[in-house]
Structure 1
């Protein structure tokens, strides 16, 4: 495996690799790392930023997304963590010609590439163990929570940024959706479901519209990738597992907007709310994750709280730093 210069420019490197899942299929994923020039990238070198044990964080993006938030990487570095992000298969840097963007038939299919990435992070620390924090956004938050529950002891902290833990409204909506989607997923897993398309969240974050973030349209399309039957079935199955309780024992932080705005027509409140998820439902479902769960509700936050306006981001970063001092220092 060879590290190369990344699309984010100086200070970032990426490494593409293949990982074989439990089904025997090899899938392409890409690990990205932040390598600030003042920190030597040499095994067995003490972490000069914290003076404590070697610490790292692995970030998992959401659906139809990829890692691009340089500010987030710099924040974690300032907290004394080596920063890594994973562009999972069929997403971002890992997209392959002829493959369906965003598609996965079972969320467990991500396990092999996450496990490989964690191994690469551990090797970067040489002989000294690395204390790992796992961070996920939206669908990546659901994936991170499920992975942590299946791999106890692999991570020391779990940070979830607007995780997609439940469908809008209630579990009844999820169960109703399951009865309609599951037969299609079983017979025609890659069938595209004709669902309403809304680009409101993209509009609020992209510098090509009314946001401030430069997004690659191939990696983060305005209307997201097509919704396929097996993908939605996999999401619903993962959410059902969360509803039954995951029993995660490590400290968990869940960051959410204070409000949602999920209408079918654009309105200005979508600049200051979660235009994707039902945050009240997510806040309640978060209690099913484990024994130690902290929920932070942030006024004015978007679906990705760390893509919100600068003052809201400052609030979110302050809350995250406080939690890190309490649970990871």
Structure 2
């Protein structure tokens, strides 16, 4: 596996690798790793390749997104985890010329690259010792994908952390069922057909430093108004949400972080600076109970859709809650409580 300098600078490296999904199609994904180097050495630590880190975390981004949150990587390093992020196929660093950005016809198609990424993480652990325990973290659609993967691959990850996971449609399961009824015929015959929906860039506006946020986003990797919504992709998401509704019985500790409130609508509101402007957080809170037997829910007042992109004071609260949860469910030797 060949690592190269990443777009985020000296503390990050990336490698691109192919994987074949259940349908036999080979797809390309990109694994990013945090390489803190001198700063970690000065603090008495070591990176995973040095053999002294027994814990790792793999982060999955949301739809139309890519990994760019250096602060998140630094937090995990401070907790003793080797940090990795996966830009899944048709997203971010893995975008292919002429491809449909963000498109997937079945969320199971991500399984091979997630499994492959964890295999790469395991391979970085030298010698004959056991590979590191890996926690899986996902945001929004990446949270839905992470939960479904964990349910189908028991015994591989040690913890599951979900940041505003898209577990259910707005309002109620009835909305999802109605949407599936309308979308599935189109997805069956014209899966790549674009569904024209109102464009809302409110979340981007609250996050991007090019608007009113504080984060530097590259439009080449993350379009301000998201990728076109295609019938096959929407059908895949609705199908995944239906599986969550039936119950996943995930057998590891799960943490779900969401905003304290939602703010939706067709027009910008100042409240969108301190709420989730994408999902219905009350619906997500209820649906989280379907994930497994050990679920912790943290509601972060003032948080955005991506809790860890919120205002400094708010995300400090989120990081403190995540650290507290890790102390409860991660032992010093890397096992789970």
Distance 1:69 1:75 in 2: 10
The 8 Å contact of residues 47 and 82 in structure 2, kept in 1 or not, is answered as no
Distance 1:189 1:276 in 2: 24
**Any idea what the Cα deviations from partners look like across 1:4-25, whole Å, max 9, x if unmatched?**
0000001100000110111110
Equivalent in the alignment of 1:96: 96
Query: What root-mean-square deviation, in Å, do the aligned CA atoms of Structure 1 and Structure 2 show?
Result: 0.9
Deviation at 1:160, TM superposition (A): 0.1
Question: Residue 156 of structure 1 aligns to a residue in which SS?
Answer: strand
Equivalent in the alignment of 2:232: 230
**Any idea what the Cα deviations from partners look like across 1:161-186, whole Å, max 9, x if unmatched?**
00000000000000000000000000
Is 1:8 the equivalent of 2:8? yes
Question: Residue 83 of structure 2 aligns to a residue in which SS?
Answer: strand
Which ranges of 4 or more aligned residues in structure 1 deviate by more than 4 Å? 39-44
**Any idea what the Cα deviations from partners look like across 1:244-292, whole Å, max 9, x if unmatched?**
0000010000000000001110010000000000000000000000000
Equivalent in the alignment of 2:52: 46
Distance 1:12 1:174 in 2: 39
Deviation at 1:45, TM superposition (A): 2.5
Distance 1:287 1:238 in 2: 16
Equivalent in the alignment of 2:205: 203
The TM-score with structure 1 as length reference comes to 0.97
Distance 2:292 2:48 in 1: 36
The 8 Å contact of residues 289 and 295 in structure 2, kept in 1 or not, is answered as yes
Equivalent in the alignment of 2:253: 251
The TM-score with structure 2 as length reference comes to 0.95
Deviation at 1:55, TM superposition (A): 0.1
Equivalent in the alignment of 1:107: 107
**Any idea what the Cα deviations from partners look like across 1:170-211, whole Å, max 9, x if unmatched?**
000000000000000000000000011100000000000000
Question: Residue 193 of structure 2 aligns to a residue in which SS?
Answer: coil
Q: Which segment is superposed worse, 109-118 or 38-47? A: 38-47
Deviation at 1:46, TM superposition (A): 2.0
Equivalent in the alignment of 2:335: none
Distance 1:181 1:42 in 2: 45
**Any idea what the Cα deviations from partners look like across 1:19-71, whole Å, max 9, x if unmatched?**
01111100010000001112544756223xxxxxx000000000000000000
Equivalent in the alignment of 1:267: 269
Distance 2:175 2:46 in 1: 50
Distance 1:77 1:245 in 2: 33
Equivalent in the alignment of 1:151: 153
Consecutive unaligned residues in structure 1, runs of 5 or more:
48-53
Distance 1:321 1:124 in 2: 25
**Any idea what the Cα deviations from partners look like across 1:203-237, whole Å, max 9, x if unmatched?**
00000000000001121111100000000000000
The 8 Å contact of residues 139 and 163 in structure 2, kept in 1 or not, is answered as yes
**Any idea what the Cα deviations from partners look like across 1:275-314, whole Å, max 9, x if unmatched?**
0000000000000000000000000000000000000010
Distance 1:292 1:42 in 2: 28
The 8 Å contact of residues 139 and 306 in structure 2, kept in 1 or not, is answered as yes
Equivalent in the alignment of 1:51: none
- The number of equivalent residue pairs is 323
Equivalent in the alignment of 2:116: 116
